[in-house]
Chain A
């Protein structure tokens, strides 16, 4: 558009679209460069290995079990076993002998935030079409609409907040429809943004009476914000107000003074800094490094009816994740997903989020390379943690079968069934532990964890 003829841009030749002069715009140039990068055989081998490792890791969350399994049955039959559960066999084979796709024209919903990076960039980079799919990625106005459109089957698969498929599967906040998390879209990458007028109130104990926004009730944002203020001794239901505001509207509300801050997805934290109305109080990575945020998922029905299509889609998204995880690609990715059709944001804002070199709104430039990451493995212990928080704040009442729900929603493949069929001893439990704000969460003991909190609704 207008920035095309900027004579003072050091990055590209004058009156040409991009720096090499062959593309109409900078975004197209970046797309072409990324495409070239992912068409090298090195990347293909790497992404294949990455996808396979992801699958196997999802099947065997605990490494000891994986090794025991492999030692017991041997590599060949292990690969066959995995192939029998998921119609993707082994990866090298996957690339050549694909099953016939049940459905080629797909609609995938997304919310314009950087969490959706792998899902979005798979479109311009051609990862979907490479799998023989004709995918439309459709920008959606809010999470409630994502839920409704998914339940109405207007979308075949979608970008979810990772707790949403669980809430929908349980029928909390909607009818119960079985949903699955195929992969986590992103880890970290969120932040608490406060209005600049609160620059001197960096201690959450001073936040009594603040009004905060989160994108949706069933979101990591809501759970993490509640956790954070509760650790400071504030009751999130009584001492502060938490409102649901769609991410794109957060900055406008912050400017208008309707809210004092938000725990929201990027690029809207960085955008508030860009607009000089907010500053980054903390990155969610500092609460729980490696926490999941958004997920890529679909309904159980869709997977059952279209197993090959689902496998193709899964491959496309995972390839994209492999690409997005590499730091050297991040700057180009920012160029690809910033234009109007996708995030519709100034490129510098998106680039600051993805590269982790950013202005914090307080006058400092910080470098946090793992500010946003795209680790796709849907650990079930993450699901168990979300369930403990849903119960903690009264979204679900009564007894919760943590394990069963986590396995139903967060694992598309039934690892245990496979192992039973192979006459293997079925391992009990075994989900990785992690630390949230210095406190170790043991997924084996969700109830004691829950009752250890002073502020809760149960």
Chain B
């Protein structure tokens, strides 16, 4: 009997996860401490100052967290995701909302700029050649390298964060849009020309649908980049957001919380990617 591929893959995934958690549990299990000579009261106090409980359960408090500790932390955060204790202490849900808001704004701005400009570049070989050197130079710049300039010129840290998202997510979209537009089949354009279609109609009813899959691929890449950038930017600028959360817990050397945040970042990133994958599917056509 053939088990469907999907089910087999899912089973394998679960198995891999189980192996991973098992290895994690093994690697972090507490080391049985050799009970040495009895401690003097002063030594006991010293141990307490290091956050240990002499004579009690062994294992350092700040070692790598076990899966059980991780689960407790995760449940603790998920139980009250939206609490708000002033500017420095907010629930994970609120932090995520801040991050998503920033990404949405920066990404939205990038779409508004990249798609029309990409159209122009794709339609006109002259503009393409003129702008190409700039695009090639600006594209590979690391997002965080923009931060000092942004902070200096924009003079507002939250707007700077949005600007950095914008500047990093604009390029893949721009290039993909230009590529998609310039790659529309000649025959279709020729047919449109023969029928004397007006330029506006040509753009919206011939080129846009034809280039849509490529444009959406660009958007999908951009969204991935934007989500990568936001964490780094918020670690730098601070204040709110999931990146700030990671930074704040790094301060406290709390690996459990950092790992929880990493998991959340990964899951949300996957969700965003799936969203664009759906959209991509919707506009794909068969020739």
Contact = CB atoms under 8 A, between A and B. Distances in A.
A82 B175 CA distance: 66
Interface string B238-274: 1100001001111111000000000000000000000
B47 to A, nearest CB: 9
A8 B60 CA distance: 18
Nearest to B89: A341
Interface range, B side: 35 or more
Contact of B239 (A138, A274, A352): A138
B88 interface: yes
Contacts of A206: none
B238 A140 contact: yes
A271 B48 contact: no
Interface stretch (B149-157, B162-170, B181-189): B149-157
Interface in B50-107: 50-51, 56, 60, 62, 72, 76, 85-89
A279 B237 CA distance: 31
A38 B46 CA distance: 32
Contacts of A363: 46
A342 B88 contact: yes
Contacts of B151: 145, 148, 152
A102 interface: no
B157 A345 contact: no
B112 interface: no
Contacts, number: 91
B156 A154 contact: yes
A286 interface: no
A348 interface: yes
Contacts of B205: none
A20 interface: no
Given A148-B151, A248-B250, A137 B88 contact: yes
Contacts of B248: 139, 340, 344
B236 interface: yes
A340 B252 CA distance: 9
Contacts of B49: 274, 348, 352, 358-359, 365
25 contacts: A2-B76, A8-B56, A138-B88, A139-B87, A139-B88, A139-B248, A141-B237, A141-B238, A141-B247, A145-B151, A148-B152, A152-B157, A154-B156, A154-B157, A248-B251, A274-B51, A274-B62, A340-B89, A340-B252, A341-B85, A341-B89, A348-B51, A352-B49, A359-B46, A365-B42
A-B pairs, 4 with minimum CB distance: A341-B89, A248-B251, A359-B49, A141-B238
Interface of B: 42, 45-46, 48-51, 56, 60, 62, 72, 76, 85-89, 151-152, 155-157, 235-239, 244, 247-253
